[in-house]
Chain A
Amino acid sequence: MSLLVEGLLTTLALTGLSFVSACLLGIVVVVLRISTVPVLRGIGTAYVETFQNVPLLVWLVLFVFGLPEIGISFPLFWTAAVVISLYEAAYVAEALRSGVNAVAHGQGEAARALGLTFAQSLRHVVVPQAARKVVQPLGNIFIALTMATSLAGAVGVVELTRAANRINLAEAQPLLIFTGAGLCYLVLAAGIGAVVFRLERRFA
């Protein structure tokens, strides 16, 4: 039982940590992607394409077993948190970009016509409108990220799924144990969904 709680706490920590850092990094990436400087735009696009087009499990294996070969070694939990953050940041950036794209062109043109700088038009015109559009997609990414943390179990992090596996090894009751683990994920996802719902009603 304590193993299950420990696994659940690890899943929570991994989810929370990765989502916050994915959001921060995602903002940086989206600013690069919509900037007016072609080189920066290229960097932003390359980032998104690189991380979105390779499966998360492959990234995890590459970071966990590949980096030590060139002398870089972190504890497994932190390696997993970094990989999940980098990966999900690409999705966050795309969700944010869709929010920006949803703001009518005329808005940006009007802001420029009024003499606002790029930063000012982002801050006062584009971001407040875009933010409302991205609450729902970000919520979806948060839930997907929660499920994705179970892949960390494949590289040795004892999170909820790996903990369930270990308990099953002794108890031999897979249906019961994995239904239990599934319910834990369900509660997590439902909680996130409820928060997103309230935020949406407030802002959107």
Chain B
Amino acid sequence: MGKLLTSLSLALLLTGCAGGESAVPGSTTTADQLMAKAPVAGELPAGSTMDKIRKRGELLVGGSLDAPLLSQQNPATGEVTGFDAELSRLLAKYIIGEPRTKLVTATSETREPLLANGTVDVIFQTYTITPKRAERVAFAGPYYESGQSIAVRKGTSGVTKPADLDGKTVIAGANTPAVTAIQQVAPKAKILELGSDPECLTALKQGRADAYVQDQSILIADASLDRDIQLVGDPFTTDPYGIGLKHGDAEFKTFVNDWLREIQRSGLWHEVWRGSIGTVVKGEAPVPPAIGSAQGS
């Protein structure tokens, strides 16, 4: 409790000092500069999905508000930042000419229905492309490839590789790709699912489980803030993330794929990566995955 209060007051102090947007001119300008450089599509076929979006003047995006580095809302400004959030704004600019998006909170149990009934146009939410899902939705991309890693409390012995998780209790974010990844490498592991990354971390530190499996970039961010945990080895899966689209809309899928190719070629993709995931993952931006390379895309 004491610790919680300290960090709370520290957070208050920090926001107090920072005093809103003006204190961090660097980051906002970069995002704006990025947006200014972003391409806009030309004439759109009448009646197509992208034409409807352009006429509406707003791209409806299904995503998260609580995914660090990917799509996280700043409670002070209300702004959503991260790799997924930035890309969705680039796509909105490409279609509409302005980066106007409306984020609808999606969850793994609502993603398919949200697309099918037209509540959202696209899903940007570390949506792993799988052949089974591809029967319900169409996937543009993959636009990013990541992998699941293992984190443990510092000083934990007996967990050096994924197979060591077998028979142990392992924490995973509820409804994340980690759940299925653990089932594959360690069928006898007992999986403890919790709603958010902070809950998972707390449970790990409180000893409710032996390890925590999560997307590597999120774990790197966690470990950089918290000295009590450490990562074990390299990622043990490859998760191709796709942009979820309505099933059967081949025209829109081709359109989004063309846009992805364009921002990859121009280097915009890399700049978005450097501004989000690249702030915690060391080294150069990775080579983006080839469009259509994942089974189901």
Q: Which residues of A are at the interface with B, using a C-beta cutoff of 8 A?
A: 65-66, 68-70, 73, 76, 154-156, 158, 162, 165-166, 168-175, 178
Cβ contact within 8 Å between B132 and A171: yes
16 pairs, A vs B, C-beta closer than 8 Å? A65-B203, A65-B206, A68-B208, A69-B1, A76-B192, A156-B193, A162-B174, A168-B109, A169-B179, A171-B132, A172-B132, A172-B135, A172-B136, A174-B110, A174-B112, A175-B113
Select from chain B the residue with minimum beta-carbon distance to A66: B1
> B residues 101-133 with Cβ under 8 Å of A?
108-110, 112-113, 130, 132-133
Cβ contact within 8 Å between A178 and B109: yes
Taking the closest CB of chain A, its distance from the CB of B242, in whole angstroms, is 13
Cβ contact within 8 Å between B193 and A162: yes
Tell yes or no: B167 within 8 A of A by CB. Answer: no
Select from chain A the residue with minimum beta-carbon distance to B202: A65
> B residues 153-181 with Cβ under 8 Å of A?
174-175, 179-180
Cβ contact within 8 Å between B175 and A65: no
Cβ contact within 8 Å between B174 and A165: yes
Contacts A73-B206, A174-B113; is A169 near B132 (CB within 8 Å)?
no
Bound CA span A175–B113, Å = 8
Cβ contact within 8 Å between A68 and B206: yes
> Hey, which chain A residues are within 8 Å of B194, CB to CB?
155-156
Select from chain B the residue with minimum beta-carbon distance to A162: B193
Q: How many of B's residues come within 8 Å of A, CB to CB?
A: 26
Tell yes or no: B207 within 8 A of A by CB. Answer: yes
| Known A70-B1, A162-B193, A165-B193; 9 more pairs at CB < 8 Å | A66-B1, A69-B206, A73-B207, A156-B203, A156-B208, A169-B179, A169-B180, A170-B180, A172-B137
Cβ contact within 8 Å between B112 and A165: no
Bound CA span A137–B265, Å = 67
> Hey, which chain A residues are within 8 Å of B137, CB to CB?
172
Tell yes or no: B258 within 8 A of A by CB. Answer: no
Select from chain A the residue with minimum beta-carbon distance to B171: A156
Select from chain B the residue with minimum beta-carbon distance to A178: B109
Select from chain A the residue with minimum beta-carbon distance to B134: A172
Bound CA span A166–B195, Å = 13
Cβ contact within 8 Å between A165 and B202: no
Tell yes or no: B251 within 8 A of A by CB. Answer: no
Select from chain B the residue with minimum beta-carbon distance to A171: B132
> Hey, which chain B residues are within 8 Å of A69, CB to CB?
1, 206
Taking the closest CB of chain A, its distance from the CB of B188, in whole angstroms, is 14
Bound CA span A42–B175, Å = 44
Taking the closest CB of chain A, its distance from the CB of B25, in whole angstroms, is 38
